[in-house]
């Protein structure tokens, strides 16, 4: 089997390939496919080459740890794509009014993007440049409700800060099943099985001396 870090590295090179996915366990085939789609996005491929795949992941049914994690990751990237659509509408409004609207409801959005990918109202508020309070309608902050400060597509692709996990991992048995104890730098301890969270990251899969994790917008492997 390929080394997990070759497939899901901490630092992702947009120009690189998905690594050697040979020997991936059947339950992680979807995760390997997601990684290929993820690299299309990072590589700057046209949206029509990956949008349908991301939408499929974002709407996939299932409560297993892999499906749930991929669904959340996909919704983050779908949110970024939809934010670009909304940005275009807001810029049209600005050209006509020389300011952005007080409320997002003041512009007409296509039905399919009136709510964020989780089904919640978008977080939108005017944002004045620092020191220029009178210019409050000249900038805005837009994001999904659960991630109101989510970076936009261009920033997310152009500046890939790798996850910086700081923990000690110890495998153990919990209810007769393998679990991992994450001892965080803060001193907090989380003993979890796939689907559980350690800090801001979700445990997706436990392999032999490695684990697949999901951060806010990417998969990555960690060893123990």
| pLDDT tens sequence across 46-84 | 999 999 999 999 999 999 999 999 999 999 999 999 999
84, 153 contact by CB (below 8 A)? yes
- How far is the C-alpha of 26 from the C-alpha of 72, rounded, in Å? 20
Rounded to 5 degrees, what angle do the CA atoms 154, 159, 161 make?
140
Is the pLDDT at 14 greater than 80? The verdict is no
- How far is the C-alpha of 141 from the C-alpha of 139, rounded, in Å? 7
Is the pLDDT at 20 greater than 90? The verdict is no
Q: Please enumerate in sequence order all residues whose Cβ is within 8 A of that of 33, keeping only pairs 6 or more positions apart, or say none.
A: 53
pTM exceeding 0.75? yes
| pLDDT tens sequence across 144-187 | 999 999 999 999 998 888 888 889 999 999 888 999 999 988 88
């Amino acid at each position: 089997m390929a080394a997990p870090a070759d497939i899901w590295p901490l630092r992702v090179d947009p120009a690189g390939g998905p690594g050697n996915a040979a020997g991936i366990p059947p339950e992680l085939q979807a995760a390997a496919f997601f990684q290929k789609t993820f690299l299309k996005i990072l590589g700057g491929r046209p949206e029509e080459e990956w949008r349908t795949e991301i939408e499929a992941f974002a709407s996939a049914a299932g409560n297993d740890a892999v499906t749930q994690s991929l669904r959340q990751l996909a919704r983050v990237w779908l949110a970024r794509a939809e934010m670009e659509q909304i940005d275009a509408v807001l810029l049209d409004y600005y050209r006509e009014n020389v300011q952005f609207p007080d409320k997002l409801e003041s512009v007409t959005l296509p039905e399919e993007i009136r709510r964020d990918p989780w089904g919640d109202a978008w977080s939108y508020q005017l944002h004045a440049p620092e020191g220029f309070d009178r210019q409050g309608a000249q900038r805005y902050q837009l994001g999904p409700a659960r991630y109101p400060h989510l970076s936009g597509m261009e920033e997310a692709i152009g500046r890939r800060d790798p996850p910086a996990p700081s923990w000690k991992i110890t495998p153990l048995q919990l209810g007769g099943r393998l679990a991992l104890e994450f001892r965080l730098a803060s001193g907090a301890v989380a003993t979890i099985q796939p689907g559980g969270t350690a800090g801001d990251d979700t445990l997706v899969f436990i392999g032999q001396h490695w684990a697949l994790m999901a951060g806010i917008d990417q998969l990555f492997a960690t060893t123990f």
